[in-house]
C-alpha cells in the first residue's frame, strides 16, 4: 500500500493556487518599471503597472460574467446506486477558483477545498478502520482503532440506567403517561433550561464541586464541534488568527477554520517541557503572527490536553490569563476531557481560577460536551460557557443552526439529574480509564516505547522516535503507514497534530478491553522489530 | 480616590455584532407583544393570539397514537440492545435506516411520482441549517442567490449571516398571483449584474411561504430552463410538500427532473424537513437532497457542525418506514389542513377580507390593502401595529417578507386549536364591522 500524500509541517495554503494571470502580470510590470524613469520613477514605475494590471484584471472579470457557457453539459448519471464519488477528471472539471466550469454550475471556492479528498493521516486512518474494523470474534484480522478518542469503558453503566429508567418510551419522562407534548414544538435554540441546569450541575461535579456553573451563562449546541466553530465566528473575523499550542486535536483545523476563514497559528511546545505551554513560546508565536500581518483574536487551549493528556498547572493558567489581558485577546478553554482525569494531578478549570482570582472574565469562554466524559457522542451535546454577555447573545442566536434534538435533551436532563448515578459513573469512569491506561503504558514500556507523563484523557502520547528510520516527518509517516497497513493498528501521528518533534503518536485505549491490550502490543512488537534503527 | 483607567474591552467579530440576525427589526415587536401577553383559552382569553408562527399542531394526535402503539420501536428494548451503537454513532453519513426512511417518506409525499436515493440524502439539524449549508457550498462571500418575493423572512438571516452571501429579489406581484415569470428572472439577474454581483443560484420555496400556494408545473419548467441557461444552481425548499391540501396539486422539481431523464440535474438540490409536515420542529430534522455528487460529499462533511442525535434518527427511522402509518398520516394531515384553510378563508370572507387562492402550507396570504390609509410600507406597518394593539393578533406583514405590494399579511392557522381560530376570526369580524359603521 503506497503512502498517501504527505502533509507538510506548515499549514496548507488557505487559498487555491493563483490564477495564471498573476504570472502574466509580473511579466508586464517589471519591464514597465524600467521604462518609467526620473524623479518619482520608482514609485510611478510601480504604481502605473499595478494600476494597469488591476484594470486589466477587472476588465477580464466583467467580461467573463457575460460569456454564456460554451460547452454543453455531459450527460449526468442518474446514479440510482451512488457508491463512490466519481473521480474522473472530466466530471470534476472545475477551475481552481470554482468559477465558470464549462456548462456545469460549480461549487464555491471554500467548498472546493472541503470537497478534496482528506489528506490528513488522522482522517485517512479513520476511514481505513471503518472499511475493515477489528472484532475479536468476527474479524480478528481487522484494523484495531486507536485513532478515535472514544470511551467505551462505562457504556454498561449507561445501558443499565436506560433499561431501568426508560419504561415506556424515550420521549416520556418519569415513566409517566406517554407525552411528547412540549418537546415536539419549537424550543429555544440554545437548549432547554432543564438541560442547562443539569449540565451546570454535572460540570460542577466533574471538577469535584470546587466551582459552581451558572446555567444562564450556558449555550447548548449539537456537539462540541459546532461550539468551537460558533466561538470562532463570534470572536474573530475572516483572516484573523487564533494561537493554538501544539500538538493539538486535528479537528481544530476544520472546526475553527473551514467556514470562518480564520487562521490557526501554532505555539510550539516541546518534550523538554512535557509539551506544556510556555510563555516564551506564546510571545514568540504572537510576534510571528504580527510579523505575518495577522491580527490575533484569541488563544485556544485544551485542558486536559489532547493529544498529550496532561494538565495545565495553576501558575500556567495565571500566565495565560495575564498574557491574554496584556494583548487584549480572548481565551477559549476546551475542557471536554475534564471528567477523564484518572491521575494524581489536580485538574484546575479556568472557571475555578476566575472564581478565585481577579482576572477579566469577559475574555474567557469554556467549551464542554458529553461526548467524552459521558460516552455519548451520538446524542450531540456540546456547550459554550461564557462570562461575556455579548458573546452569549451572539452565540445563542447562532445555535439555530446547531440545536440539540429535543427528545435527547429531555433524556439527558433526566440522566444528568440522577445524582447518585452520576456520582457512581464519574468515579467508576476514572478508575477504569486509569486501569487501562496503566496496562497499556506498561505494555508499551516493555516494547521500549515510553509515553509522556499524563493524567487525563482517553489516550497516551507515545514516543516512537527510536523506531523511525529518519528523524523527520517523513520517517514518522513511514512508521504510521507500517502500523496501519502491516500491524493493522490505527494511531494518530504527531504531524497530524502539528507536533514539532517527529516520532510522537497518539494512541487511544478506551475502546479496548484488557484482553485486547496484549494483541495490540504484539502487533506493534512485530513491526517495531523491523524498524529498529541501526546503532 | 484612585483613578480608574478603563481597560480596553476585548472585541467581538463583525458576525457577532452584525444585525443580520434580524431580531432587532421592527417586526420583532409582534413577537414581543405575544411573549408579554400570550393568549390562553382559559387563563388569558384576551391575550395576543400567535398567528405568526408556522407550526403544525393539527395532526399531533396521530403521532402520539403511533408512539403509544409502538413503544418498543421507540426505545432500545429490554436491556437496551443497539443502544451502544447509537450512543457512539456520530458518523456524518447518518443511520442508513433513517436515510432510507426519509427517502421513502419523500417519495410517498410525491405520490410515488419521483424516486429518491437514500445515498443522496444528507442530514442536518433542521432545514435552517440545510439552507445555510447549501449556501456555503454553492456561493462565495459577495456572491448572490436570487429569491422570489415575497419570501420567508428567515432567509435574510439563514442565507446571508455567516455566509456573507447576498439575496437579490425576483419581484413578483398580485397581477398573476405572485408567480415567478421569465421576465422577472431575467430582471433580477440583470439587477445583480449591474451591481457587479455574481449570481450562483435561484432559491425557490415550493409550496411557497408565505403565499401558501404550490408553484405550477409550467413555472417550474421555466425556472429550470433559466438556471440551465445561466449555468447556475437551483435550490428547491420543499419543506411544505406534505402540507399541500391535495397530493396531485403539488409538483416537485424532482418530478420535472425525472421527466427530463435527469439531464443536467446536477445543478438541482432539494431541502426538506420534518418540522412542518410532521409537526416535529423540536426534533431538529432537516435534509439536503442533491443530484450533485460533489455537493453531497461536501454537504456531508460540513454536516459535522449540525448532526442529528442518533437517538432521534433511530426513533424516527422506524416510524417513517412504517408505510401504513405514513400513508395514513399524510392523507389525514392534508385533509385537516385543508379544513382549517377553508375555515379561515370563509371566516375572513364573511368579514369582507379576501385572500390569495391557496392550496398548501400552514398559513394564508391575506389582502388588507383596501384598509391601508396610504398604499405604502409605512401604511402597512401602521395597520399592522394597530392589529397587534387592538385586535391582539400577531400576524406577519408582507414587508417583512419583502413583498413589493403593501397590504398583504401572512396568517398562520395550524398552530392553534379550532376554538382559538374561532376567537381570532371573531375579533377580525368585529374589527371589520366596526370599520364599516365608522365609515358609514
Residues A147-174: tens digit of each pLDDT: 999 999 999 999 899 888 876 444 444 4
Single out the catalytic residue among B137, B167, B239, B388.
Answer: B239
Residues of A catalogued as catalytic: 249, 334, 336, 372
**Range in A33-47, A413-427, A472-486, B344-358 the model is least confident about:** A33-47
**pLDDT classification of A31: cutoffs 50, 70, 90:** low
Contacts of A407 in chain B (CB under 8 A): 282-283, 309, 311-312, 315
Structure confidence at residue A116 (pLDDT)? 85
Averaged pLDDT, A66-82 = 30
C-alpha A287: how far from its chain's center?
Answer: 24
Q: CA of A473 to nearest chain B CA: how many angstroms apart?
A: 27
Contacts of B79 in chain A (CB under 8 A): 159, 163
**pLDDT classification of A51: cutoffs 50, 70, 90:** low
Under an 8 A CB cutoff, do A397 and B132 touch?
no
Chain B: residue nearest A106 by CA? Answer: B138
Say yes or no: B139 contacts chain A, CB-CB below 8 A. yes
Under an 8 A CB cutoff, do A98 and B140 touch?
yes
Residues A225-263: tens digit of each pLDDT: 999 999 999 999 999 999 999 999 999 999 999 999 999
Report residue B275 as a C-alpha cell.
Answer: 418540522
User: Within 10 Å of residue B100's Cβ, how many Cβ atoms?
Assistant: 18
Report residue B37 as a C-alpha cell.
Answer: 401577553
Which residues have CB under 8 Å from B136's CB, separation 6+? A108, A110, A111, A259, B162, B163, B302
Contact B126, B95 (CB under 8 A): no
Structure confidence at residue A61 (pLDDT)? 54
Contacts of A150 in chain B (CB under 8 A): 88
pLDDT surpasses 60 at A75:
no
Contacts of A227 in chain B (CB under 8 A): none
Residues A263-313: tens digit of each pLDDT: 999 999 999 999 999 999 999 999 999 999 999 999 999 999 999 999 999
Q: Annotated catalytic, B276?
A: yes
What percentage of residues in chain A have a pLDDT greater than 70?
Answer: 77
Say yes or no: B87 contacts chain A, CB-CB below 8 A. yes
No. of helices (H) and no. of strands (E), chain B = 16, 13
pLDDT surpasses 50 at A466:
yes
Q: CA of A65 to nearest chain B CA: how many angstroms apart?
A: 8
Under an 8 A CB cutoff, do B75 and A235 touch?
no
Contacts of B140 in chain A (CB under 8 A): 98, 108-110
Structure confidence at residue B131 (pLDDT)? 98
Window 13-42 of B: residues touching A by CB (8 A cutoff) are 13-17, 21, 23
Closest CA to A507 of A521, A496, A492, A517: A492
Structure confidence at residue A5 (pLDDT)? 37
Window 183-212 of B: residues touching A by CB (8 A cutoff) are 193, 196, 198, 200-201
Structure confidence at residue A103 (pLDDT)? 55
Say yes or no: B83 contacts chain A, CB-CB below 8 A. yes
**pLDDT classification of A469: cutoffs 50, 70, 90:** confident
Of B74, B143, B305, the CB nearest to A171: B74
Structure confidence at residue B5 (pLDDT)? 55
Under an 8 A CB cutoff, do A79 and B162 touch?
no
Residue of B91, B282, B308, B417 to mutate when probing chain A, most A C-beta within 10 A? B282
Q: Which long-range contacts (CB under 8 A, 24 or more apart) does A42-51 make?
A: none
* Residue contacts between A and B (CB atoms, under 8 Å): 279
Structure confidence at residue A145 (pLDDT)? 94
Of A109, A162, A183, the CB nearest to B140: A109
pLDDT surpasses 70 at A47:
no
Structure confidence at residue B10 (pLDDT)? 85
Of A178, A240, A377, the CB nearest to B64: A178
Contacts of B193 in chain A (CB under 8 A): 65
Chain B: residue nearest A78 by CA? Answer: B262
Residues B89-143: tens digit of each pLDDT: 888 999 999 999 999 999 999 999 999 999 999 999 999 999 999 999 999 999 9
**pLDDT classification of A402: cutoffs 50, 70, 90:** very high
Chain B: residue nearest A331 by CA? Answer: B10
Report residue B232 as a C-alpha cell.
Answer: 447556475
> pTM value?
0.87
Structure confidence at residue B27 (pLDDT)? 76
Distance from C-alpha of A355 to C-alpha of B249, rounded to nearest angstrom? 62
Contacts of A250 in chain B (CB under 8 A): none
Of B229, B301, B312, the CB nearest to A114: B301
Q: Which CA distances in Å does A337 have to A351, A497, B15, B378?
A: 15, 17, 29, 55
**pLDDT classification of A18: cutoffs 50, 70, 90:** very low
Q: Which CA distances in Å does A20 have to A63, A65, A113, B423?
A: 17, 18, 19, 68
Residue of B125, B199, B269 to mutate when probing chain A, most A C-beta within 10 A? B125
Under an 8 A CB cutoff, do B306 and A226 touch?
yes
Of A168, A329, A360, the CB nearest to B7: A360
Chain A: residue nearest B295 by CA? Answer: A107
Higher pLDDT pick, B141 / A116 = B141
Residues A342-397: tens digit of each pLDDT: 988 899 999 999 999 999 999 999 999 999 999 999 999 999 999 999 999 999 99
Which residues have CB under 8 Å from A472's CB, separation 6+? A502
Under an 8 A CB cutoff, do B55 and A186 touch?
yes
**pLDDT < 70 regions, chain B:** 1-8, 72-81, 440
Residue of B154, B284, B319, B412 to mutate when probing chain A, most A C-beta within 10 A? B284
Closest CA to B121 of B270, B5, B19, B232: B270
Contact A227, A367 (CB under 8 A): yes
Averaged pLDDT, A100-127 = 81
Q: Which long-range contacts (CB under 8 A, 24 or more apart) does A188-193 make?
A: A189/A396, A189/A397, A189/A399, A189/A400, A189/A403, A190/A219, A190/A220, A190/A221, A190/A395, A190/A396, A190/A399, A190/A403, A191/A218, A191/A219, A191/A220, A191/A399, A191/A403, A191/A404, A191/A409, A192/A406, A192/A409, A192/A410, A192/A413
Under an 8 A CB cutoff, do A73 and B12 touch?
no
Q: Annotated catalytic, B237?
A: yes
Structure confidence at residue A55 (pLDDT)? 62
Window 275-304 of B: residues touching A by CB (8 A cutoff) are 279-285, 291-298, 301-302, 304
Contacts of B289 in chain A (CB under 8 A): none
**Range in A16-25, A333-342, B189-198 the model is least confident about:** A16-25
Q: Which CA distances in Å does A471 have to A445, A466, A474, A482, B36?
A: 21, 9, 8, 16, 68
Under an 8 A CB cutoff, do B231 and A103 touch?
yes
pLDDT surpasses 80 at A79:
no
Structure confidence at residue B89 (pLDDT)? 86
Residue of A108, A390, A395 to mutate when probing chain B, most B C-beta within 10 A? A108
Structure confidence at residue A68 (pLDDT)? 34
Residues A199-228: tens digit of each pLDDT: 999 999 999 999 999 999 999 999 999 999
Q: Exposed, middle or buried by CB within 10 Å (0-12, 13-18, 19+), for B175?
A: exposed
Of A73, A114, A330, the CB nearest to B10: A330
Averaged pLDDT, A37-43 = 52
Structure confidence at residue A99 (pLDDT)? 39
Q: Phi first, then psi: what are they for A441, rounded to 5°?
A: -65, -35
SS3 A16: coil
Structure confidence at residue A516 (pLDDT)? 94
Contact A285, A263 (CB under 8 A): no
Amino acid at each position: 500500500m503506497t503512502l498517501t500524500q504527505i502533509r507538510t509541517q506548515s499549514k496548507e495554503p488557505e487559498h487555491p493556487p493563483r490564477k495564471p494571470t498573476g504570472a502574466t502580470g509580473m511579466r508586464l510590470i517589471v519591464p514597465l518599471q524600467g521604462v518609467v524613469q526620473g524623479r518619482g520613477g520608482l514609485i510611478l514605475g510601480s504604481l502605473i503597472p499595478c494600476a494597469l494590471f488591476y484594470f486589466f484584471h477587472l476588465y477580464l472579470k466583467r467580461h467573463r460574467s457575460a460569456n454564456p457557457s460554451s460547452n454543453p453539459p455531459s450527460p449526468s448519471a442518474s446514479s440510482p446506486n451512488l457508491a463512490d464519488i466519481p473521480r474522473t477528471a472530466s466530471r470534476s472539471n472545475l477551475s481552481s477558483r470554482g468559477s465558470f466550469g464549462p456548462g456545469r454550475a460549480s461549487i464555491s471556492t471554500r467548498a472546493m477545498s472541503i470537497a478534496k479528498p482528506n489528506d490528513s493521516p488522522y482522517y485517512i486512518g479513520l476511514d481505513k478502520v471503518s472499511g475493515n474494523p477489528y472484532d475479536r470474534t468476527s474479524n480478528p484480522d481487522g484494523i484495531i482503532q486507536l485513532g478515535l478518542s472514544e470511551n467505551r469503558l462505562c457504556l454498561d453503566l449507561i445501558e443499565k440506567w436506560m433499561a431501568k429508567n426508560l419504561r415506556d418510551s424515550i420521549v416520556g419522562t418519569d415513566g409517566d403517561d406517554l407525552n411528547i407534548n412540549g418537546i415536539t414544538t419549537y424550543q429555544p435554540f440554545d437548549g432547554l433550561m432543564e438541560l442547562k441546569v443539569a449540565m451546570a450541575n454535572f460540570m460542577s461535579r466533574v471538577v469535584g464541586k470546587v466551582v459552581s456553573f451558572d446555567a444562564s451563562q450556558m449555550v447548548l449546541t449539537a456537539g462540541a464541534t459546532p461550539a468551537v466553530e460558533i466561538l470562532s465566528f463570534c470572536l474573530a473575523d475572516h483572516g484573523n488568527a487564533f494561537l493554538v499550542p501544539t500538538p493539538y486535536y486535528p479537528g481544530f483545523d476544520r472546526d475553527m477554520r473551514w467556514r470562518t476563514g480564520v487562521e490557526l497559528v501554532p505555539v510550539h511546545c516541546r518534550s523538554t517541557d512535557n509539551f506544556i505551554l510556555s510563555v516564551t513560546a506564546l510571545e514568540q508565536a504572537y510576534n510571528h503572527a504580527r510579523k505575518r500581518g495577522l491580527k490575533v483574536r484569541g488563544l485556544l487551549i485544551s485542558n486536559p490536553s489532547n493529544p498529550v493528556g496532561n494538565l495545565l498547572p495553576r501558575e500556567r493558567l495565571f500566565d495565560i490569563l495575564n498574557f491574554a489581558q496584556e494583548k487584549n485577546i480572548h481565551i477559549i478553554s476546551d475542557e471536554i476531557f475534564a471528567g477523564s482525569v484518572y491521575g494524581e494531578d489536580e485538574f484546575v478549570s479556568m472557571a475555578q481560577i476566575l472564581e478565585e482570582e481577579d482576572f477579566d472574565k469577559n475574555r474567557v469562554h469554556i467549551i464542554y460536551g458529553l461526548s467524552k466524559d459521558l460516552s455519548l457522542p451520538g446524542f450531540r451535546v456540546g456547550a459554550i460557557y461564557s462570562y461575556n454577555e455579548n458573546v452569549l447573545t451572539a452565540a445563542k442566536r447562532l445555535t439555530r443552526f446547531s440545536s440539540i434534538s429535543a427528545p435527547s435533551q429531555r433524556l439527558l436532563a433526566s440522566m444528568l439529574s440522577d445524582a447518585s448515578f452520576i456520582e457512581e459513573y464519574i468515579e467508576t469512569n476514572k478508575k477504569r480509564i486509569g486501569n487501562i491506561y496503566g496496562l497499556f503504558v506498561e505494555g508499551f514500556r516493555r516494547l521500549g516505547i515510553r509515553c509522556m507523563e499524563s493524567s487525563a484523557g482517553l489516550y497516551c502520547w507515545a514516543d516512537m522516535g527510536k523506531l523511525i528510520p529518519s528523524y523527520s516527518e517523513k520517517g514518522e509517516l513511514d512508521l504510521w503507514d507500517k502500523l496501519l497497513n502491516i500491524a493493522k493498528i490505527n494511531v494518530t501521528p504527531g504531524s497530524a497534530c502539528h507536533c514539532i518533534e517527529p516520532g510522537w503518536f497518539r494512541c487511544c485505549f478506551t475502546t479496548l478491553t484488557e484482553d485486547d491490550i496484549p494483541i495490540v502490543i504484539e502487533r506493534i512488537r512485530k513491526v517495531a522489530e523491523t524498524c529498529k534503527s541501526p546503532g | 480616590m484612585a483613578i480608574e483607567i478603563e481597560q480596553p474591552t476585548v472585541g467581538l467579530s463583525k458576525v457577532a455584532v452584525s444585525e443580520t440576525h434580524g431580531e432587532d427589526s421592527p417586526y420583532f415587536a409582534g413577537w414581543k407583544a405575544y411573549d408579554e401577553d400570550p393568549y390562553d383559552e382559559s387563563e388569558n382569553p384576551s391575550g395576543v393570539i400567535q398567528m405568526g408562527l408556522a407550526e403544525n399542531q393539527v395532526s399531533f394526535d396521530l403521532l402520539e397514537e403511533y408512539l403509544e402503539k409502538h413503544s418498543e420501536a421507540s426505545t432500545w428494548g429490554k436491556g437496551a440492545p443497539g443502544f451502544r451503537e447509537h450512543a457512539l454513532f456520530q458518523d456524518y453519513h447518518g443511520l442508513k435506516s433513517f436515510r432510507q426512511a426519509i427517502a421513502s417518506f419523500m417519495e410517498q409525499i410525491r405520490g410515488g411520482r419521483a424516486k429518491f436515493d437514500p445515498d443522496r440524502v444528507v442530514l442536518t439539524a433542521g432545514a435552517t441549517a440545510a439552507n445555510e449549508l447549501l449556501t456555503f457550498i454553492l456561493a462565495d462571500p459577495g456572491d448572490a442567490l436570487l429569491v422570489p418575493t415575497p419570501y420567508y423572512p428567515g432567509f435574510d438571516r439563514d442565507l446571508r449571516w455567516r455566509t456573507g452571501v447576498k439575496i437579490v429579489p425576483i419581484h413578483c406581484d398580485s397581477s398573476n398571483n405572485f408567480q415567478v415569470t421569465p421576465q422577472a428572472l431575467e430582471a433580477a439577474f440583470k439587477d445583480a449584474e449591474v451591481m457587479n454581483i455574481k449570481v450562483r443560484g435561484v432559491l425557490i420555496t415550493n409550496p411557497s411561504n408565505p403565499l401558501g400556494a404550490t408553484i405550477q408545473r409550467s413555472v417550474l419548467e421555466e425556472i429550470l430552463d433559466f438556471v440551465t441557461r445561466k449555468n447556475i444552481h437551483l435550490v428547491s425548499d420543499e419543506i411544505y410538500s406534505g402540507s399541500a391540501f391535495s397530493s396531485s396539486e403539488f409538483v416537485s422539481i424532482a418530478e420535472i427532473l425525472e421527466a427530463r431523464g435527469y439531464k443536467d440535474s446536477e445543478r438541482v438540490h432539494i431541502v426538506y424537513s420534518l418540522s412542518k409536515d410532521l409537526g416535529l420542529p423540536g426534533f431538529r430534522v432537516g435534509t439536503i437532497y442533491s443530484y450533485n455528487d460533489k455537493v453531497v460529499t461536501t454537504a456531508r462533511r460540513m454536516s459535522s457542525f449540525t448532526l442529528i442525535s442518533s437517538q432521534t434518527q433511530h426513533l424516527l427511522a422506524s416510524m417513517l418506514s412504517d408505510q401504513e402509518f405514513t400513508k395514513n398520516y399524510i392523507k389525514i394531515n392534508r385533509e385537516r389542513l385543508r379544513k382549517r384553510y377553508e375555515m379561515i378563508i370563509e371566516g375572513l370572507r364573511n368579514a369582507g377580507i379576501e385572500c390569495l387562492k391557496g392550496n398548501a402550507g400552514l398559513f394564508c396570504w391575506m389582502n388588507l390593502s383596501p384598509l391601508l390609509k396610504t398604499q405604502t410600507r409605512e401604511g402597512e406597518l401602521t395597520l399592522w401595529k394597530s392589529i397587534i394593539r387592538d385586535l391582539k393578533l400577531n400576524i406577519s406583514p408582507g414587508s417583512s417578507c419583502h413583498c413589493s405590494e403593501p397590504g398583504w399579511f401572512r396568517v398562520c392557522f395550524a398552530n392553534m386549536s379550532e376554538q382559538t381560530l374561532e376567537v381570532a376570526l371573531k375579533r377580525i369580524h368585529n374589527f371589520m364591522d366596526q370599520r364599516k359603521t365608522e365609515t358609514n
